[in-house]
Amino acid sequence: MSEGKLIIIGGDAAGMGAASKIRREQPEREIVVFEKGYHTSYAACGIPYYIAGMLNSSDDLIARKPEVFIEKQNIDVRIRHEVLEIQAESKKVKVLNLEKQQELWESYDELLIATGASPIVPPLEGADAEGVFALSSLQSGIDVFKFMEKHNPRKAVVVGGGYIGIEMAEALLERGLEVSLIDMAPQLMTSLDEDMAEPVMEYMLENGVQVFLKEKLEQIERHTDGKVKKVITDKQSLDADLVILGLGIKPNSELAVKAGVKLGEKNAICVKKTLETSVPGVWAAGDCAESYHLIKEQQTWVALGTVANKHALVAGINISGGKAEFPGVLGTAITKFKDLEIARTGLSEKEANEMNIPFKANAIEASTLSGYFPGSGKIRVKLVVEDITGRILGGQIVGMQLSAKRIDTIAVAITAGMSVQQLVDMDLSYAPPFSPVWDPVQTAARTLL
């Protein structure tokens, strides 16, 4: 069991989760964490809801502040310290103290890279205008909130129709802004099949968001004082006092590759199931690292808080001398827009086609509760199953309140290798305030028998 000095690069979910696990297993080990931002262990997924004004303070999103790790867990957390270089052969890192603008070299015996991911910002004219934001860190969310408080914007343009785009459109509506959303894809939420994305767009339109698909961002125009003025696409010009760029994210793997660490899917850091990289003694976890896909049976890149926290546990166990493997992912994800809930897991039709898997798919519409019960709403459930075996490959759900968490039933069924017949046969609960007598997930499964 190694008790040598451990350096962790990155102080959010993966880095601090691993640090805490290692501290519990190795009370005396020296652990140093370098975090270039101001915060540790924060809930990035909650940033849109903070911006919407649903929380009392940004502090509500912080699970544990740096001083707590330092004082109560004896973990040497150094915020505002950016690692500039890793020298794997000599086992040391070059660090810049951002407050003092001083560089130093720090040695290590083992290293965990937990550098996360960054938003994609296109190299377009005006992308750096005041009032244009790309969300990633908690500080970026605080910056948006402060900008809105100071300038009271009236018109917002969200660029990108994925999870961040959908959630930010809701947040800005909640704050009383006029909201437009543009995306170059032919549908919102490309992780869904087109027939499941369509009701999402319809609901957003009904609730006041202007949605423009198949439009490419070309330029952001600014006023003479530097503030954002317009968003220019290949089809139109939209007035804007605030712009949110939700064009996706990329893994922060530049440090790793320069240190000779092998990269994999979408330039994420290639890791074994133990989370060790191609360089002995160097580990990686969280949004910067790959995961194994249980259905595709190959490496993939999934940047989700659930995955980062599970990576942290596995890396922490192994770095502290235990034995653990990360089993894999299905890409299970969930979000909402106002009262409409959206979830997916496993393979979509598009992904099954790309893998040349013979499949059947069907979507059904049902009620979230017994139809006569007050508060019952519409739910649409889609299943994708292997043609010959009936093995469940994927599922998608779009519906009103109490719809989306049913995706967990499908995720369990996929993980267990169940067929649609076995899903139909499952003894799921029933009472009118919770579900129809046939749960919509089982109704969808019955249509595929």
Closest by CA to 253, choosing from 122, 109, 104, 114, is: 114
How large is the average pLDDT for residues 181-208? 97
Domain definitions of the chain by residue range: 6-118+250-319, 121-247, 333-446
pLDDT-based confidence at residue 435 (cuts at 50, 70, 90)? very high
Helix residue ranges per DSSP H, 152-189:
163-174
pLDDT-based confidence at residue 118 (cuts at 50, 70, 90)? very high
Q: Is the pLDDT of residue 1 over 60?
A: no
Pairing relationship of beta strands 340-346 and 392-399 according to DSSP bridges: antiparallel
Strands of 359-367's sheet in order across: 333-337, 340-346, 392-399, 378-386, 359-367
Kindly provide the b/e burial profile for residues 246-280, where b requires at least 16 CB atoms within 10 angstroms of the residue's own CB.
Answer: bbebbbbbebbeebebebbbebbbbbeebbbbbbe
Q: Is the pLDDT of residue 266 over 70?
A: yes
CATH topology of domain 121-247: FAD/NAD(P)-binding domain (3.50.50)
pLDDT at 261: 98
Q: Domain spanning 6-118+250-319: which superfamily?
A: FAD/NAD(P)-binding domain (3.50.50.60)
**What SS3 state is found at 266?**
helix
Q: Summarize pLDDT for 154-191 with one digit per residue, the tens.
A: 999 999 999 999 999 999 999 999 999 999 999 999 99
How large is the average pLDDT for residues 438-447? 98
Q: Is the pLDDT of residue 438 over 60?
A: yes
Q: Summarize pLDDT for 376-427 with one digit per residue, the tens.
A: 999 999 999 999 999 999 999 999 999 999 999 999 999 999 999 999 999 9
Pairing relationship of beta strands 6-9 and 228-233 according to DSSP bridges: unpaired
**What SS3 state is found at 115?**
coil
Q: Summarize pLDDT for 222-237 with one digit per residue, the tens.
A: 999 999 999 999 999 9
The CB density around residue 335, as the number of other CB atoms within 10 Å, is 20
Give the rounded percent of residues in the chain with a pLDDT score beyond 90: 99
Averaged pLDDT score across all residues of the chain: 96
User: Would you give the DSSP letter of residue 62?
Assistant: B
CATH class of 333-446: alpha beta
Catalytic residues: 45
pLDDT at 3: 85
Closest by CA to 204, choosing from 335, 369, 374, is: 335
Q: Summarize pLDDT for 357-390 with one digit per residue, the tens.
A: 999 999 999 999 999 999 999 999 999 999 999 9
DSSP sequence for 200-237: HHHHHHHTT-EEEES--EEEEEE-TTSBEEEEEESS-E
pLDDT at 2: 64
Q: Summarize pLDDT for 13-60 with one digit per residue, the tens.
A: 999 999 999 999 999 999 999 999 999 999 999 999 999 999 999 999
Q: Taking the model in full, what pTM does it have?
A: 0.94
CA angle 294, 299, 301 (to 5 degrees): 100
pLDDT at 196: 98
pLDDT-based confidence at residue 136 (cuts at 50, 70, 90)? confident
